[in-house]
A and B are shown apart, each in its own frame.
Chain A
Amino acid sequence: MMITRSPRHDMMMIGVFALVVLTMPIWLAPFGAAYPDLLQKFVIFGIMAVGYNILFGLTGYLSFGHAAFLGVGSYSAVWMFKLFTMNVIPAVIIGTLMAGVFAVVIGYVCLRRSGIYFSILTLALAQMCYNLAYSVLTPITNGETGLQIRPTDPRIIDAMFLEPTERVPTTTLFGIDMTGYGGFYFCAVALIITFFISVRIFRSPFGLKLRAIKSNQNRLNYTGINTRPYLLIAFVISGMYAGLAGSLLAVTDPLAGAERMQWTASGEIVLMTILGGAGTLFGPILGAWIIKYFENIFSAFNDGRLHEIFSFLPDTLESIAVGISAQFVGEGWHLTLGLMFMLIVIFLPGGLIEGFNRIVARLRPGQARRRAPAVEEKEAS
């Protein structure tokens, strides 16, 4: 059990993490993933997964409603852009806070139940948000089309300082454009900060008690702890993480649509977390990166690209290879995703982090027994 690590160790770990994140444009280039949109998605969904992990990884409460907070964050941020300023700071702050408010309300209701009943409550409330945003709340959400920035928006604060332009303005951080690499670095800094907070939570008595909730809530009750406020705080924190992620989505691409509140979007977050390893520090981020990579890179393969890849083979073999692999990429990328979920859960129940730990443990047999948590301890079984 390595919940307690020396603060120096933690700072080093966060330093390495920061380095890895900030150099993503370089080391992802050979994988064809070093372009602003995907880089932004990597860090934003990283934040989302880190936040989700605080709830699900630590307390074991499986929420199917976090996409609603993502949506609330996005809508709030876009409204800030429309009404006040294209500067991203107020948008991010208000987006996060609004998601927090929603999380307090939804959390208060849902946390009255546990287990699958909690899951279904979160699912039900989030689906209600989605369905209403899509139809009845169209004046606020612009429904199916999604909330967009228009040249005619008031933007009260900007109007006081800037010349009006004919074109649709872009989001900025005091003049730095936030839709390209600037946005990526902005989000990356947010990811590093939120990761740092998550490490602090993992290492704190609060985090320990959350783990205790996951492990045995009954015992905790007889140990003098009222679990409800702990759960609510964890729920709200992770809801605010989701709101932050949602507002960053709006920062890097100022359009908010209802579909990001759908249950499938929540499901994707759950999958990211479990895939990487729930309850581990890095696992959820890794899971988020892998799923986003698949979604963006595998879906873009087409027969032409496959023929290029297999062009080293003789013609007949080439067409066979292309024929087979075409089932798994392009329009078949969902199949790959489904198979990947199954294989990972079957063979690496603790997620990818467990896989790394096993490999490291095998490489260092002498130390394996005493220091099993090589990359990171898997806390839950």
Chain B
Amino acid sequence: MDAFVLQVLNGLDKGGAYALIALGLTLVFGTLGVVNFAHGALFMLGAFCAVTFNLLLNLSERVEDPNITAFTAYIDQPYLETWLGDFGTQLMDYSVPLSILFTIPVMLAIGLAMERGLIRFFYKRSHAEQILVTFGLAIVLQEIIKSFFGANPIPVSAPDTFVGTAAIGSLIGLGEGVAYPYWRLIYLAFSIVVIAAVFSFLRFTTYGMVVRAGMADRETVGLLGINIQRRFTVVFGLAAIVAGLAGALYTPILPPDYHMGMDFLVLSFVVVVVGGMGSLGGAVAAGFLLGILQSFASMNEVKDLFPGIDQIIIYLVAVVVLLLRPRGLMGRKGVMET
């Protein structure tokens, strides 16, 4: 039972990340009709936003070490500590959650620049060309990051308060053994909040309603005289922010490196397709579903029955779902079938 609960948590946590990435991907596809192979790179850029922000907070000056008097030793004194004292230290400790404030504008800018500078020229082009150009872009972005940060993963730590595990077992009446890292719980909660925010934005604002209408029938909405183009640009920015946030807060779980986007790219496409191309609810549902299935497939009991099942479970689910439900879990007819 304990193991079961833990695997559900693992699955939800993983699923949160999958869902956030897939959400942006399917949003861009549904509104702009663009297959964005650079979406994984946006996730990676988000993670490096957190890294950069951390570096910024840690900007230091070289000062003489007052503790060593035998010879002149230097230590790095972060400016924040000099200026703000303990509060500065606190700020530095909270660099990952605070990086949200940095990630949102940066990712918005990147998203808008991408859409205006490149993607918009590809609305009318074939999916194959969209794939090629965005794939090229993904490589370029990745190589730029590599030339600044190297290929090695970069460790990022969660705030001290959230290091360690929460004894949720005793909370819900299970054994002491059921403990789960605080940061992963925060990530799960955060992903649910972001998903809810995106959904309510689309459902309750007029802006979002236009976008949703556009997803359903682009031509008609265009005919209504609404400048759908500008709104779609914003949608792209929104997708970039969601992917970026997913990446930024994931850094304490997975030390980021320049290649992480590619690793998530295939996975997020599988999630989107299993959910149904262009279906937001489908992407979220499929994200959590695949996360949980992956967790269960990795359990020793399951692996003993089907050796190697954890290697292929995601793909196996994709094949089965697509054969049973031609358009994924919640897909609409006619989307991306030609």
Contact = CB atoms under 8 A, between A and B. Distances in A.
B178 to A, nearest CB: 30
Interface in A122-171: 123-125, 127-128, 131-132, 134-136
Contact of B315 (A124, A275, A334): A124
A123 B312 CA distance: 12
A338 B312 contact: no
Nearest to A340: B136
Contacts of B314: 124
A341 B336 contact: no
A199 interface: no
A116 B315 contact: no
Contacts of A332: 143, 147
A115 B338 contact: yes
A345 B312 contact: no
B171 interface: no
Interface string B112-148: 0000001001000111110111011111101110010
Interface stretch (A106-114, A243-251, A365-373): A106-114
Interface in A225-271: 263-264, 267, 270-271
A120 interface: yes
Contacts of A56: 128
Interface stretch (B210-218, B220-228, B317-325): B317-325
B133 A120 contact: no
A338 B131 CA distance: 12
B311 A135 contact: yes
A115 B336 contact: yes
Contacts of B127: 62, 116
Nearest to B133: A345
Nearest to B328: A117
Given A132-B308, A135-B308, A338-B139, A121 B322 contact: yes
B327 interface: yes
B270 interface: yes
B140 A342 contact: yes
B338 A217 contact: yes
A112 B262 CA distance: 28
A194 B8 CA distance: 52
B105 interface: no
A337 interface: yes
Contacts of A380: 126
Interface string A333-347: 011011111100110
Interface in A50-84: 56, 60, 62
Interface string A262-294: 011001001100110010000000000000000
A345 B136 contact: yes
B316 A128 contact: yes
- A116, A131, A135, A275 interface centre (most CB from chain B within 10 Å): A116
A13 B138 CA distance: 38
A271 B337 CA distance: 21
B323 A109 contact: yes
Contacts of A275: 132
Range for the number of chain B residues in contact with chain A? 35 or more
Interface in B77-109: none
B23 interface: no
A114 B338 contact: yes
B159 interface: no
Contacts of A36: none
B133 A121 contact: no
A327 interface: yes
Given A62-B128, A115-B336, A117-B273, A131 B326 contact: no
Nearest to A332: B143
Contacts of B337: 113-117
A273 to B, nearest CB: 9
A380 to B, nearest CB: 8
Most chain A CB inside 10 Å of its own CB: which residue of B35, B142, B319, B323:
B319
A355 interface: no
A123 to B, nearest CB: 7
A25 interface: no
Contacts of B12: none
Nearest to A333: B143
A182 interface: no
- Most chain A beta carbons < 10 A, residue from B132, B133, B140, B147: B132
A125 B312 CA distance: 9
A100 to B, nearest CB: 21
B145 to A, nearest CB: 11
Contacts of B264: none
Contacts of B121: 346
B321 to A, nearest CB: 10
B251 to A, nearest CB: 23
A341 B135 contact: yes
Contacts of B273: 116-117, 120
Given A338-B140, A349-B125, A113 B326 contact: yes
| Most interface-central of A124, A332, A337, A341 (chain B CB within 10 A) | A124
Which 8 A-B pairs have CB atoms at the shortest separation, nearest pair first?
A: A338-B139, A341-B136, A136-B308, A124-B315, A115-B337, A342-B136, A131-B311, A335-B143
5 contacts: A117-B337, A135-B308, A217-B338, A337-B139, A349-B125
Interface of B: 35, 118, 121, 125-129, 131-133, 135-140, 142-144, 147, 262, 266, 269-270, 273, 277, 307-308, 311-312, 314-316, 318-319, 322-323, 326-328, 336-338
